Amino acid sequence: MGLGGLCRAAVCAEDTAMGVSPLLTLLGPWTPFLVAISGRVLVGLWLFCYLEAHVVGVVPPALRSLTWYGSLAFMILCFVQHLFGVATAGPVPDTAVTHDTGQFLADTVSWSVSHMRGWRDAMEDAHIAQMLDASVFPDTALFAVLDGHGGSEVSALASCLLTREINAFGRELRSEGGGSSLMAALEAALPSVDAKLRAGKLNAGRIFPLSLHPFAGCGSTACVAAVDFVRREVVCANIGDSRAILIRNGKAIALSTDHKPEDKKERNRIQNAGGRVEQMGPCHRIDGSLNLSRAFGDFRLKANTTLPPEKQKVIAFPDSTRTSFVGGPQELLVVACDGLFEKLSNQALADFVWPRHKDGMSFEQIGKELLHHAMARSHQGMPTGEGTDNETVIIVKLPPPKTKAESRTATAKDPEADSDPAE
């Protein structure tokens, strides 16, 4: 094998460490990133020593041996990690549905997250369901689905960073005297998360060019729905093609819009950044690869050094909406990854969920039946039709309308709240 072949083999072997291993994730969400950076540094040092030995020859043999054996050990580790992942992989399709459930605001808000690996070899989705900092956003819950691609590292990391960034921008806006605008905080937090993913832990992501970044070909969507129970509105910020909908008396109300390369606005930005949009089968893809135009990560598609982040081929700047809700038995909030919408429209999903909800079925059972309904059927061990992606859905029961006394209490808690927020 020539030097070029050795380089490619080393880098490909190092990249397999980015498949999240239980051994690595126990050490923290940044561990795969740091392992990948360490591998690139080791390979780079070994290549330097290899070339230096044939040109100058002043590097001590002990250092050359150290870098060689270090790189070899790293490649062996990556190979073992790969074998471990193959050996522990579950069946395909994996139809087991996992649920997370909870309640907020003295049990007036109940929610359930259902997720399933389906036809994919690994689960790449992540989700968020938690309350925001009450000192910044009183009585506000955050629900988000992050649909990873090229690995689960970006979706997992972004799900750890996003809530913290939203709270931080809320505090910053409040300190500047502009109030804690939920929409402004969401719109600032998403690109900030992407910038942190770009920099990496200890700023190590800036060591290499973006084409060699650990997240060069790994990314994630993010559909973020923040529910302000004081103002009684849902603020949604979205990048990619995961979706949020409000089901009101059985009718689906879209809270987000997909970001696809073929859309005129997205196509113009992609082409202005030097990219091309190609139709490949049923999908349009950027430079023949990604079928999304907005996402976290995917830094090889954000590598034009002459352009700011918001003008790259792929961006992490969201579109946002603000929608009032009534709450009570006539409304549900649903946030889901595109795996469900391969087969279902927004209204078809509402038509599936709503009658089961009205019949008193639990959110966990609705989620399970919905994921199985959206998954491609199997024929001789192979999927037939659409529905081959990971699947995740969050279903939220919104609180009933407030009494006049509760409205006065809420207004006292947050003077900026309107009793009748605008759409």
What band does 354 get if pLDDT is binned at 50, 70 and 90? very high
> 406 lies in a domain?
yes
Residue 380 CB partners (closer than 8 Å, separation 6+):
none
> 268 lies in a domain?
no
> 33 lies in a domain?
yes
Element (H, E) at 67: helix 61-88
Which amino acid is present at 81?
Q
Q: In the prediction, which pLDDT does 368 show?
A: 98
Q: Are residues 183 and 73 in the same domain?
A: no
For residue 138, the domain's CATH number is: 3.60.40.10
Q: In the prediction, which pLDDT does 43 show?
A: 82
* pTM of the shown model: 0.85
What band does 404 get if pLDDT is binned at 50, 70 and 90? low
Q: Are residues 169 and 255 in the same domain?
A: yes
Domain that holds residue 307: 94-259+294-413
Q: Are residues 211 and 342 in the same domain?
A: yes
**Residue 72, phi then psi, degrees to nearest 5:** -65, -45
Q: Are residues 228 and 199 in the same domain?
A: yes
- pLDDT tens for 318-352 read 999 999 999 999 999 999 999 999 999 999 999 99
Q: Are residues 227 and 353 in the same domain?
A: yes
Q: Are 264 and 284 a contacting pair, CB within 8 Å?
A: no
* Total domains in the fold of the chain: 2
Q: Looking at 66, 88, 110, which one is the last position of a domain? A: 88
Q: Looking at 88, 120, 147, which one is the last position of a domain? A: 88
> 132 lies in a domain?
yes
Q: Are residues 313 and 379 in the same domain?
A: yes
Q: Are residues 71 and 209 in the same domain?
A: no
- pLDDT tens for 72-124 read 887 888 788 778 776 766 778 999 999 999 999 998 999 999 999 999 999 99
CB hemisphere CA count around 332 (13 angstroms) = 28
- Whole-number Å distance between alpha carbons of 226 and 232: 11
What band does 250 get if pLDDT is binned at 50, 70 and 90? very high
> 270 lies in a domain?
no
Q: In the prediction, which pLDDT does 77 show?
A: 80
> 422 lies in a domain?
no
Q: Are residues 23 and 107 in the same domain?
A: no
What band does 152 get if pLDDT is binned at 50, 70 and 90? very high
| Structure-model confidence comparison of residues 35 and 171, the more confident one | 171
Q: Are residues 42 and 166 in the same domain?
A: no
pLDDT at 416 over 80: no
Q: In the prediction, which pLDDT does 17 show?
A: 38
Q: In the prediction, which pLDDT does 6 show?
A: 33
Q: Are residues 189 and 79 in the same domain?
A: no
Q: In what order do the strands lie in the sheet with 243-248?
A: 94-104, 109-118, 391-397, 331-336, 243-248, 251-254
Rounded to the nearest 10 degrees, the angle between the axes of helix 31-55 and helix 3-15 is 170
Q: Are 236 and 323 a contacting pair, CB within 8 Å?
A: yes
Which of 224-233, 377-386, 397-406 shows the highest mean pLDDT?
224-233
Nearest to 400 by CA among 245, 228, 229: 229
> 284 lies in a domain?
no
Q: In the prediction, which pLDDT does 14 show?
A: 35
pLDDT at 9 over 70: no
Q: Looking at 88, 108, 138, which one is the last position of a domain? A: 88
Share of the chain above pLDDT 90, in %: 66
Q: Are residues 160 and 101 in the same domain?
A: yes
Q: Are residues 121 and 14 in the same domain?
A: no
> 283 lies in a domain?
no
Q: In Å, how far are 10, 101, 122, 181, 207 from 34, measured between CA atoms?
A: 16, 32, 21, 35, 12
Nearest to 128 by CA among 111, 153, 106, 108: 111
